[in-house]
């Protein structure tokens, strides 16, 4: 069964009540430093984590995805303190497994080339605003082939430690594509494929982001990749955001509300159903609409309602 997950917000009773009323199934935690214990000891405190899980569960919600402490430039460059970062991620994964949490993501410094992009705020119908990015002119230098291969070696070393722990603890490791997906980004189109080629364990898969991959090549690319990864059982969860344009077609893209972009969200859900996907769909990067505060609660309500209507239609087929 397809489910809906959203970000954890401020975890207040008001927020949890609101997302429960909207019909959300699960929460996702995208910040590797969010949980108590990470700042103090480098990894989450199990007792504090279980208290959060209990509070979330009291509203009929589940925790779908959590994030391991970041592997920063210290680790990627092999500098002092990098080995400790990896050890902390390994311990965090064990803690998440002990808490019975199903999916964890590891972030890696250096998987994007922000120097190649010019960020701006785009304006859309009625004046709502959202993230936009265009290729910078002139284009800045990117890492050399040797530097990119070194990045992959460090990625592989981290996964060679994390994957056996994930297998032992019953946690799935989900990797997100490089966002923004510039040419040669380590987790762009080719690098993303490389992850499951190198680590074929069934504990390894994808946090497939429709918006990020649409930034690379539009809706046809998204549908083809969903079919490819989905039929192999490699999609662990989905980020569903809509965009206009792509780097390939416009040299730029802009994030928009779910009904306002180039992607057809219903076709995406239909493809997910065809390949047997049964995890969570998160309408992430939600643009704020008039009257929204920091939690973007009105944009969130719109996105969840839109998704629930699509899922109700999908169920009739």
Q: How high is the mean pLDDT in each 10-residue block of the chain (317 residues)?
A: 96 97 98 96 98 98 98 97 98 98 98 96 97 94 95 98 98 98 96 97 98 97 98 98 97 98 98 97 96 94 98 95
Q: Which residues have C-beta within 8 Å of that of residue 157, sequence separation ≥ 6? A: 86
Quote the pLDDT of residue 139: 86
Tell me how far CA of residue 61 lies from CA of 28, 199, 312, in angstroms: 11, 31, 20
Residue 265, token pair as written in the block:
């969200």
Q: Which residues have C-beta within 8 Å of that of residue 137, sequence separation ≥ 6? A: 118
Quote the pLDDT of residue 1: 87
Q: Which residues have C-beta within 8 Å of that of residue 269, sequence separation ≥ 6? A: 2, 281, 310, 311, 314
Q: Give the tens place of pLDDT for each residue, 68-85.
A: 999 999 999 999 999 999
| Spatial separation of the C-alpha atoms in residues 161 and 86, rounded to whole Å | 8
Domains of the chain, first to last: 3-314 (3.20.20.150)
Q: Which residues have C-beta within 8 Å of that of residue 103, sequence separation ≥ 6? A: 64, 65, 66, 171, 172, 173, 174, 207, 236, 237
Of 278, 202, 212, which is closest to residue 239 (Cα–Cα)? 212
């Amino acid at each position: 069964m397809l489910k809906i997950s959203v970000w954890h917000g401020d975890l207040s009773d008001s927020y949890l009540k609101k997302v429960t009323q909207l019909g959300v199934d699960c929460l996702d935690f995208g910040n590797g430093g969010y949980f108590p214990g990470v700042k103090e000891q480098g990894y989450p405190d199990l007792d504090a984590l279980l208290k959060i899980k209990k509070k979330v569960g009291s509203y009929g919600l589940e925790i779908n995805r959590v994030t391991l402490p970041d592997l920063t430039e210290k680790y990627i460059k092999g500098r002092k303190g990098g080995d400790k970062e990896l050890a902390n991620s390994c311990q965090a994964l064990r803690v998440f497994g002990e808490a019975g949490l199903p999916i964890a993501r590891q972030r890696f410094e250096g998987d994007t080339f922000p120097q190649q992009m010019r960020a701006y705020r785009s304006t859309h119908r009625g004046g709502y605003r959202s993230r936009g990015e265009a290729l910078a002119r002139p284009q800045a230098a990117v890492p050399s082939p040797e530097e990119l291969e070194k990045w992959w070696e460090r990625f592989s070393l981290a996964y060679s430690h994390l994957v056996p722990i994930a297998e032992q603890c019953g946690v799935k490791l989900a990797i997100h594509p490089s966002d923004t997906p510039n040419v040669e980004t380590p987790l762009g189109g080719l690098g993303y494929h490389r992850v499951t080629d190198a680590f074929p364990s069934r504990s390894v898969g994808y946090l497939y982001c429709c918006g990020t991959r649409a930034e690379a090549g539009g809706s046809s690319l998204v549908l083809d990749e969903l079919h490819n990864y989905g039929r192999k059982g490699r999609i662990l969860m989905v980020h569903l955001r809509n965009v206009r344009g792509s780097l390939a077609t416009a040299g730029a893209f802009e994030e928009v509300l779910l009904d306002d972009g180039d992607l057809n969200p219903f076709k995406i859900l239909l493809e997910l159903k065809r390949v047997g996907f049964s995890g969570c769909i998160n309408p992430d990067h939600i643009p704020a609409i008039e009257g929204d505060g920091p939690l973007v609660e009105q944009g969130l309500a719109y996105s969840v309602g839109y998704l629930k209507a699509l899922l109700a239609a999908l169920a009739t087929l």
